[in-house]
Structure 1
Amino acid sequence: MRTLLGVSVTLLAVVLTGCAGAPSNGQATTPPPSAATPTSSAEPAVPETTPPVPESAAYAIPTDCASLIASTPFTSTFGSWPLNDPAVVGSPDGPYYTPSGSISPTPAPSGATLLEAMLSATQLRCVWREPQADITNLSVEIGEVDPAISAAYLQSLPAEGFSCTQDDSAETCEKFETESKYNVEVGQTVLVRDGVFIRVNQANVSTPQLMDTLVTDVWG
């Protein structure tokens, strides 16, 4: 009887030891996730981006009048006349009392016309004229202008007798007529492209392909 009692006690101890390590509901336990383990809610890494580099302007306003017609046939026509002569552009009694050469745009005067508003944006003004000339002259004005102003100005020109054409890159308006007092041809040509205007006024001088030359000067 002593031997059987000892075996029974031993078996009971084994059973109790196994029960002590099991959960009370009979299910296996799962260890908590480690704090170092990433979870699915982690934010993805944001790749570094380089800001886009703005494109440079496709044009450049010239700063030198003489360079506009360098190495062209015009150097032997109006190009031989005085350029921005102070007696022409710098005297209140002269026909062009206005800043010339490379200049800074100025605010349009109060009540300015569309032409005055556009010309206030002039950045290069070139005047070829003999101080003693009665009418013979040529002037070029180039600048960046508010597209709303240039568009309104161009739209007004057909009513003044201008002929206007437009292609994929530019709109051009021109008007040529005979001046009654001196019986010579006078003309005006205006081209607007990419927010830039070129205006040519001329009297008693032939200038075939001049606007093409000026467009090359600005847009290359």
Structure 2
Amino acid sequence: MRRRTSIGITAAVLVGVALTGCTQGSAGAGNSPTSTTGSAGGTSSPTASATATPRPTSTITAVPGVDDDAGRLPDSCSGLITAGKWDTAFADAPLNDPAVVGDPVQTPKDDLTPVLQPDGKRLYCVWRDPRADTTFLSIRVAVVDSTKAYPHLQSALSGYDCSLDGYGYRCQKVSQNAQYPVTDGDTYYTRGDVGIHIEQSNVTTSGLLDDVVSHTF
């Protein structure tokens, strides 16, 4: 199996620690998301919906500093990121190829799984060429129990760089891939009753979390 290395694997990649960096200013309500009426990349991308489905009405107790506002989960992967913005980074790779995610799509467990709302909406998007050994990016967005998500991530994530950014709680870990000379990134973000998980390998995407947040809130 040949390894697809669309992104350089030099030491410069290690410098880009903020793989999915989210800055406080860009995550706020004052930033309008870019309209995404096209494909997120590749012929396998689903068509974007013009509207997003509201989340179920929450009856949980708000957490100060975390439940500052409410968001909406996009109806498709193409509504999750700005169309065309990430084509050179990952969006030209096949999206949710059955050889990668299964048919129907199988969403793996992660540290959001224990705090998911059972009746809440979920979206799982994976950009990966099935011929690639390691190069990929995945985004999971789901409705979570906000009374549990923040304290759960605080206790469950070890070795992550975590911080409150004024609107939500972000944790990120950047590490060397155990098998290949490439950089891996793992990012969790919770805000209100929305949880985001971004995994990536051999892909540099500074500002991706900002983009996902702007399309969710």
3-state SS, counterpart of residue 140 of structure 1: strand
Q: 1:116 offset after TM fit, Å? A: 2.9
Greater percentage in helix: 1
Q: 1:157 offset after TM fit, Å? A: 4.3
**TM-score of the aligned structures, taking structure 1 as reference length:** 0.60
Q: 1:114 offset after TM fit, Å? A: 5.0
Residue type matched to 1:89 in 2? V
Q: Does 1:98 align with 2:106?
A: yes
Residue type matched to 1:201 in 2? E
**Cα 1:191–1:99, aligned 2, differ >3 Å: closer, same or farther?**
closer
Residues 100-119 of structure 1 show CA distances to partners (whole Å, capped at 9, x for unaligned) of 9xxxxxxxxxxx98543246
Q: 1:167 offset after TM fit, Å? A: 2.6
The answer to whether the 8 A contact 1:122-1:141 is kept is no
Residues 149-180 of structure 1 show CA distances to partners (whole Å, capped at 9, x for unaligned) of 3123211245x200101032111000000013
The answer to whether the 8 A contact 2:111-2:156 is kept is no
Partner of residue 201, structure 1? 199
3-state SS, counterpart of residue 77 of structure 1: helix
Residue type matched to 1:73 in 2? K
Partner of residue 113, structure 2? 116
**TM-score of the aligned structures, taking structure 2 as reference length:** 0.61
Q: How many residues are aligned here?
A: 148
Task: Work out the CA distance in 1 between the residues paired with 2:110 and 2:147.
Answer: 13
What are the within-5 Å matches in structure 2 for residues 64-213 of structure 1? 64-90=76-102, 98-99=106-107, 115-118=112-115, 123-158=122-157, 160-213=158-211
3-state SS, counterpart of residue 154 of structure 1: helix
Q: Which has the higher contact order (CA 8 A, sep 6+)?
A: 2
Task: Work out the CA distance in 1 between the residues paired with 2:124 and 2:165.
Answer: 26
Task: Work out the CA distance in 1 between the residues paired with 2:75 and 2:89.
Answer: 22
Residue type matched to 2:106 in 1? T
Residue type matched to 1:124 in 2? L
Task: Work out the CA distance in 2 between the residues paired with 1:206 and 1:114.
Answer: 22
Task: Work out the CA distance in 1 between the residues paired with 2:95 and 2:124.
Answer: 10
The answer to whether the 8 A contact 1:69-1:75 is kept is no
**Cα 1:122–1:140, aligned 2, differ >3 Å: closer, same or farther?**
farther
Task: Work out the CA distance in 2 between the residues paired with 1:66 and 1:151.
Answer: 27
Structure 2, unpaired ranges of 5+: 1-56, 58-68
**Cα 1:201–1:148, aligned 2, differ >3 Å: closer, same or farther?**
same
Report % sequence identity: 36
Task: Work out the CA distance in 2 between the residues paired with 1:214 and 1:183.
Answer: 28
Q: 1:78 offset after TM fit, Å? A: 0.4
Task: Work out the CA distance in 2 between the residues paired with 1:168 and 1:113.
Answer: 24
Tell me the C-alpha RMSD between the 2 structures: 2.7
**Cα 1:179–1:122, aligned 2, differ >3 Å: closer, same or farther?**
farther
Partner of residue 17, structure 2? none
Task: Work out the CA distance in 1 between the residues paired with 2:144 and 2:198.
Answer: 16
Q: Does 1:63 align with 2:61?
A: no
3-state SS, counterpart of residue 66 of structure 1: helix
Task: Work out the CA distance in 2 between the residues paired with 1:179 and 1:123.
Answer: 28
